[in-house]
Structure 1
Amino acid sequence: MFKKEEDFIENLNTIRRINTSFVIANKTIKTARNGKDYIEFSLTDKTGEITARMFPNRDADEIYENIVKKSIYTITGNVDEFPRNSGNFSIKIDSFQKMEEDEYDLDDYIRTSHKNQDELINEINRTIMQMNNPHLKNLLETFFGDEKFTEEFYNAPSAKIHHHNYLGGLLEHTVEVLLICKKASEIFPQLDQDLLYTGAILHDVGKLKAYDYDLVCIDISNEGRLLDHLFISCDMVKEKIRDNQIEIPEDILTNLLHIMLSHHGDVQNGWGSPVSPKTPEAVALHHADNLDAKVRGIIQKMK
């Protein structure tokens, strides 16, 4: 059964009745002000994500336990806007039914980047080829000469919720950050371009291990929850250097790891960086990453 165009999440922007299907990406039991339990859901399809709530008269725990995450359900309910005139729409669920595999088209639920993947990959390859620093160039060639790594890197999401949270999102985000860094280098030619571009390309590689994902759902892995992708990214760089016996001067490696560890900005911001940016390249990468994430996040919400 194909979804109707008006029933995709990007088109749920009017108050109305619906009977359509979604992936149940997440579920949580919460307690309302009246003391009664209700179930909150994150629903997805290929166009986005929306919050839904169900207020059962009884047995909320039993209903919750019987719902299979990462499965596709037919859902009946009302699209509502709260607060009124806020532009924030959610679904109040009356009933749902798990669908069998032969009852839906999986392509309606797979969230992927809409950008040309070949063009994104070529941008990274051109950047590596044009580098002058032999140590950083060798490091990147070792990463992207690994077929298993590149396959995962080109298909991975960049986040669970906030931005680029779809298959291919990591590649898209990486290239967007790289392009912003290239513009910054035109304005500030004093920047070490090879160091900055290497940081841009590798800053989020740890997300390959920080997220568990399949065709319809993204979640944070246990490793991602306990270590965070910033640490994992740096560990992957050090592991690649060690396993392939790559020669790289200590000062270059230290500066690269600093750029990667600090790309979420000042420690006092509480965004996850264990160290604040202290070099021009680290400051440039932080603002490039933040600009791309914030702008892309708003654009996704506007769709």
Structure 2
Amino acid sequence: MSPITIAAVKEQAGEIPIHAAIHAQLQSRATRTTKGGKPYFELVFADSTGNFSLKIWSDSPMSEAAETLAEGTVVRLEAEWTQNQYGVNPNKLWWYNLEDAAIADFLAGDPETREKQDRDFAEIRRLCDSIEDPRLHGLCAHFLSQLGDRFRRTAAAKKNHHARRGGLVEHVAQMMRSADALCPVYPELNRDLMLAGVLFHDCGKLWENSYPEDGFAQIHSIHGEMLGHIPLGIELVNKLWNDLVDSVETDEWKGLKPSTEMTRLHLLHLIGSHHGQYEFGSPVLPRTPEAFALHYIDNLDAKMEMIRDAYSQSTEVAPGIYDRVFPLPTNLVKPLAAFVPPPAPPASDEPADEPETP
């Protein structure tokens, strides 16, 4: 049986079981206890398309194997898979460790996901190259040159949206497309600042949600845990900025308007305010048109990804109504299909009647 991806299982599984195999890497294992005192293992498995968690109960035939399975191990999971609003559930589950050749194939990633992320990274480069302000242009180029590889294997979140290796590239590329499209609609927006702000708004996640070069299990970083991605992002941009300021090529920046210091400050404000609210982790609220726009573009792209995932994973509880999928607040309803114009009437082969002669 050929393996399928985690994303495919989420899309295909429902109330009716599907028998399928998955190649996945153990991302984390935790020992937990139900309210009734029953112990179980919670295992999180990941591949290039996403992750899911499985509960292995203490009386399960796989309990002993779960207890000894090391994080980072790549296994073949085979089961009859179902899915409800709480996630994916395996019946008759078993697994075994993959051999070296199969592991190498797995670590190469799903070809479709890899191709999409390659296109998205090329789009990010194209839009960064279109920035006219030499300071922001140079900063983006410096970041992609120094940290492009790490950027390409970072997730946009630990869960909920773009939670996969390379997910940050997908998220940033889509946000940059949105920002580029909105700037002509709202001419008060500074396009150069918007594009640079999108690139850097989550750059601290390179230490909060990064992945190794040879796996799909997210790395736990002490810096990410203790500081979070917003302070890390501000620190990183300051470092990259100072790298450029110290170079001889930036002497010409001294006469540019707006000033170099105000340009740096506005970019840092976008990073600090992009969550939009204090309770969501922003140390400062949006105070400029670009800061408001960036916050809403970020929120929109995250929500659209959650909605896309929810439609692919949830089951219909009634015609056109789907189970609620966390973290969305409600059940989804089947979207309205695009309007299809009626077909044009067939052309007649008969010549038109000649007008009568008076």
TM-score in terms of structure 2 length: 0.71
Q: How far apart, in 2, do the equivalents of 1:174 and 1:128 lie?
A: 12
Q: How far apart, in 1, do the equivalents of 2:64 and 2:51 lie?
A: 25
Q: Which residue of 2 aligns with 1:194?
A: 192
Please state how far the C-alpha of 1:192 moved relative to its aligned partner: 1.5
Q: Which residue of 2 aligns with 1:44?
A: 46
Q: Which residue of 2 aligns with 1:255?
A: 266
Counterparts of 1:8-157 in structure 2 under 5 Å?
Answer: 8-10=8-10, 11-16=12-17, 18=19, 20-21=21-22, 22-57=24-59, 65-75=67-77, 77-82=79-84, 86=85, 88-91=87-90, 95-102=94-101, 106-107=105-106, 110=109, 113=113, 116-117=116-117, 119-144=119-144, 146=145, 148-157=146-155
Q: How far apart, in 2, do the equivalents of 1:70 and 1:260 lie?
A: 32
Pick closer, same or farther for the CA change 1:19–1:300 going to 2, 3 Å: closer
Q: Is the 8 A contact 1:265 1:276 kept in 2?
A: yes
Q: Which residue of 2 aligns with 1:223?
A: 223
1:135-165 superposed Cα distances (whole Å, 9 cap, x missing partner) = 2223223323x2x422322343322222222
Pick closer, same or farther for the CA change 1:223–1:93 going to 2, 3 Å: farther
Please state how far the C-alpha of 1:212 moved relative to its aligned partner: 3.7
Q: Secondary structure at the match of 1:218?
A: coil
Q: Is the 8 A contact 1:113 1:172 kept in 2?
A: no
* 1:240 matches 2:240: yes
* Aligned counterpart for 1:173 among listed residues 171, 185, 209: 171
Please state how far the C-alpha of 1:201 moved relative to its aligned partner: 1.6
Q: How far apart, in 1, do the equivalents of 2:106 and 2:242 lie?
A: 41
Q: How far apart, in 2, do the equivalents of 1:123 and 1:108 lie?
A: 24
Give ranges in structure 1 of 5+ residues lacking alignment.
none
Please state how far the C-alpha of 1:59 moved relative to its aligned partner: 12
Q: How far apart, in 2, do the equivalents of 1:164 and 1:50 lie?
A: 13
The one-letter amino acid paired with 2:199 is I
Q: How far apart, in 2, do the equivalents of 1:60 and 1:249 lie?
A: 60
Pick closer, same or farther for the CA change 1:187–1:110 going to 2, 3 Å: same
Q: How far apart, in 1, do the equivalents of 2:131 and 2:94 lie?
A: 57
* Aligned counterpart for 1:204 among listed residues 202, 205, 209: 202
Pick closer, same or farther for the CA change 1:63–1:114 going to 2, 3 Å: closer
Q: Which residue of 1 aligns with 2:319?
A: none
Q: How far apart, in 1, do the equivalents of 2:118 and 2:51 lie?
A: 27
The one-letter amino acid paired with 2:175 is V
Q: How far apart, in 1, do the equivalents of 2:4 and 2:218 lie?
A: 24
Pick closer, same or farther for the CA change 1:174–1:81 going to 2, 3 Å: closer
* 1:163 matches 2:161: yes
Q: Is the 8 A contact 1:113 1:167 kept in 2?
A: no
Q: Which residue of 2 aligns with 1:285?
A: 294
Larger radius of gyration: 2
1:7-58 superposed Cα distances (whole Å, 9 cap, x missing partner) = 9523333443757343222222111233121112222344433331111239
Pick closer, same or farther for the CA change 1:119–1:43 going to 2, 3 Å: closer
Q: How far apart, in 1, do the equivalents of 2:64 and 2:270 lie?
A: 48
1:95-136 superposed Cα distances (whole Å, 9 cap, x missing partner) = 544344356663388367355455434433333333332322
Q: How far apart, in 2, do the equivalents of 1:88 and 1:103 lie?
A: 27
The one-letter amino acid paired with 1:91 is P
Q: How far apart, in 1, do the equivalents of 2:14 and 2:95 lie?
A: 21
Number of residue equivalences: 296
1:140-198 superposed Cα distances (whole Å, 9 cap, x missing partner) = 23323x2x422322343322222222233222211111111122212211111211111
Pick closer, same or farther for the CA change 1:156–1:89 going to 2, 3 Å: closer
